[in-house]
Every structure is written in structure tokens, then in C-alpha cells.
Structure 1
Amino acid sequence: MKLMHRVGWRRGVLVLAVATLLTAAAVQVLSDEPEIALMIGEPWEDMRQRSSASIGPAIPGRSWFSMPSSDARLRFIDPQYGFVTPLARFFTIGFDDELIDGVRISPQVEPLLLDDTLKVVLDLQEQWRDAGWTPIKLAYFPSFADTPQWRAQLRDVSKGGKTYWHAGNQYQVMLVVGRFKDKKRPTEERYLITLALATPWTNP
């Protein structure tokens, strides 16, 4: 009985150790993803020093934009309204006299299938809700949802979808989804997501 107990105990320890290693590996993979970590309005160099993705310096006295030198995810680090996106290939960060004034990003590395597109936008919306963001202009631009009506609208190349969210009077995001003709996969329905982030540019 003692021998069986020891074998069972050792097996349990081994399973726990493997699970711990797998979890650590998953965390390591996530932490190894290049990211741009920023705040709207902060000095450009603060973002560069904090971020693990490489991006060039801002141009003093100019209003322009720059892009990371690799795929990167956005980590918006506001202590209340922060959120994180998936890796992005299209990722522009605007500056005005070396201060960050806005972000435009497509949070994906390739055009996505509809199911994957909805996972991304619904996760972003959930992060915003949890952080206290509020959807605005709902009569015209309702929040995305995984419903037959939304799926039909997104499949319509002439419609797509758009939603706006405010973080108090500090920030605004616009989230847009549209069909995309992917030449690499001409028989598949693929979609592009666009996210714009800045100080509010529309009224609630």
C-alpha cells in the first residue's frame, strides 16, 4: 500500500511539473511577442524605451507617423483603460512634435476567416467593457456580436461593420470590419479589422 501511495504521489508530482512547464512555456511565448507599449500624449522616446518591438525615432517639430520594424501587438498601458491586441502587421503610430497622438492598427497578420475575426473583435470589446469603456452612437453603430444578423452584415461586401467606444473624455477607439478579397485564397471569405485610437474626435 505504501509503495502504491508513493507511485501515485510521484505520478501526481510529475503531472503537476509537466503542467507547470507547459504553462510557463505558454507565458514565455506570449511574453516573447514583440509589442509596442504606449500612452496617448506621452513622449515618443518613452514608448521606444518601454517597447520590445523596434521603432524609429520621431522627427522633432513634425507631425507624422512611424511603424514598428516587425509584427507587434499593441499594449495600451493606461492604468484604467488599458487593453492588448493580437499581433499586427499593419501598425502606424502618429506623433506631433515628438508626442504620441494616435494609433491606427489592423490587429492581425493576415486576412482572417469570419469566426477568427469575430473572436478578435469580441475580445477587444470585452476588454473595453471590463476597463470601463462605453460604446457610443449605438443607434447607428451598434457593438459587434456573434449573431446571424451580424454575420450576414459582415458577409455583405457593401456593408461591413463599425463601432465607436469612449473611455470617459480621455480616449476614443473606432473598430471597423470589412470583407477583403485575398488573392492568396480567392475562394475563401476573408476579413480585415481596423482599429483607430486617439483622444476623442466625435461627441458621444
Structure 2
Amino acid sequence: MIISSRAVRSWRLALLIILSVLAVRWAIEALSDDPEIALEMGGTYEDMRSNSSASFSPLIRGHVWFGIPKTDARLRFIDPLYGFVTPLARFFTVAFNDNVIEDVRMSPQIEPLLIDDALKIVLGLQEQWRARGWVATGLCNNPTIADTPEWRAFLRKGIREGRSFWQAGDKYEAMLLLGRFEDYRNPTEERYLITLELSKPWMSFDAIEARYPCDEPHHFPAPQLN
């Protein structure tokens, strides 16, 4: 069968259009996907790099060291039971012992936020943890943060941060902080900073309750939910 030159040109044009459409689609999908650092506590640097879409600091062998993503990135915490995802973060550090991940400290935001936006992130993280089996601890002195008039007034004073502590069985511990932050770029606005730290447990539930007894008075107690 002989194919005319016109048919060949038409086929090539159709193929070019299809490839162009696919290229645009792939570019849009690539831009719409947030860069992420995907890691497992106790996992390796190499596994983190292979699972992540954001580039990261080079490995430093034989040392205790801290690495950072090379772009704003979200955290995807890998665990079949306790895994969760954060919003994009600009401050994001991972602590290593040689190539083994030991600790994560980050602020799951890319700038200081207004109280509505900050609370939305904090409550979203706490809801993810509850749904995945994490348990809040030390509640008498550090209740879970809530969006209530009492909590907003407590945070607005800027005297003490809101703090909540969470444990995932005997595998992980999380500390979540929310505090007022003086943002020089927005001096007339109330801005807030979130800090999240993740590690293997350093203290049991019982030890936390013993260390921070509920009957111990506090000058600036955090609001308790009824």
C-alpha cells in the first residue's frame, strides 16, 4: 500500500498536536503537585530521596547533621497506620545520624499567618492525627488547641504558646506549637507561627503526667475544653 505525502504530513501534524497537548497537561500537573519530602522515622536518607519530589541537601556520612529541602515542600510522613501530610513549609529541617532519620522540625506554612489560617492548619493536623490513631497527652496542662474565643484570646496575648503533645503508640511523638509572631512585613497585623517537631518517643504517657501534674498551678493556663 502506498501512503501519499499528504497523508504522512497529516499524520505527523496530528501526532505533533497530541504530543503538544500531553506536554501541556504534564506541565500543568507538575506545577499543581506540591513538592514534598516523603520520609519514614528511622528510615534512610537514600529512601527519603527516592520517595520525595523535592530536592534535598547532600548526604553527610558519619556525622550527626541537619539537612533541608532546596525548595518549599510539604512533609509526607510515611507509616501504614500513623502517616499524615502537612501543608507546604519554608522552614523544614531533618536531623540525621549518618544516613538515618532521627528527628523532623518544621513550620508547616510559608509565612506567618493570620489567626484564622493558622488555626485551620493546626486543627487540620490534629484531626489527621486523631483519625490515624495518635493520642493527645499531657492534657491537663497542654490541652489540644481549639478554635474558640478563649483560645483566640489566650493566643492573642502572646505571653505563652499553645502547645499540644501527641504520641502514636510507642513509635512516634509530636509536639505542636502555635504562638503569636511579630512579622516586620505586616506590623499592624496579628500573625502566628506554627512549629511541629517529630521524633521517636522520649517520654511515656505516665512520665509526662508525672512530670506535669494537673494540680500544679500555672500563671497563664491554656483554655480547657468543657
Task: Say whether the fold is shared (TM-score over 0.5).
Answer: yes
Cα-to-partner distance string for 1:56-105 (whole Å, 9 max, x where unaligned):
23211100110000000000011100000000000000100210001000
- Asked whether the equivalents of residues 92 and 104 of structure 1 are also in contact (C-alpha less than 8 Å), the reply is yes
| 1:12-46 deviation per Cα after TM superposition (whole angstroms, max 9, x unaligned) | xxxxxxxxxxxx99x94786210000000011111
The answer as to whether partners of 1:37 and 1:51 remain within 8 angstroms in 2 is yes
1:74 matches 2:82: no
Aligned to 1:42: 43
CA distance in 1, matches of 2:128, 2:163: 17
Q: Cα RMSD between the aligned structures?
A: 1.7
Q: Percent identity, aligned pairs only?
A: 58
**Dislocated runs of 4+, deviation >6 Å:** none
> Which structure has the larger Rg over C-alpha atoms?
2
For these two proteins, the number of residue pairs brought into alignment is 180
Is 1:163 equivalent to 2:164 in the alignment?
yes
For residue 157 of structure 1, report the CA deviation from its aligned partner.
1.0
Q: Deviations over 1:165-191 (max 9, x none)?
A: 000000000000111111111000000
Segments of structure 2 that go 5 or more residues without pairing to the other structure are: 1-24, 206-226
Residue aligning to 1:185: 186
Q: Which amino acid aligns with 1:169?
A: D
Name the CA shift for 1:127/1:43 in 2 (closer, same or farther; >3 Å). Answer: same
Seen in structure 2, the aligned counterparts of structure 1 residues 128 and 29 have a Cα distance that, compared at 3 Å, is farther
Distance 1:31 1:47 in 2: 21
- Letter in structure 1 aligned against 2:131: D
**Aligned position for 2:123:** 122
Question: How far, CA to CA, are the matches of 1:29 and 1:98 in structure 2?
Answer: 29
Counterpart position of 2:53:
52
Superposed counterparts of 1:73-152, under 5 Å? 73-152=74-153
Q: Provide structure 1 residue ranges, at least 5 long, that are not aligned to the other structure.
A: 1-23
| Distance in 1 of aligned mates of 2:31 and 2:117 | 18
Query: Which moves more between the two structures, 84-93 or 152-161?
Result: 152-161
Partner residue in 2 for 1:154: 155
* Alignment TM-score, normalising by the size of structure 2: 0.77
Q: Distance in 2 between matches of 1:148 and 1:119?
A: 15
- Find the counterpart in structure 1 of residue 16 from structure 2: none
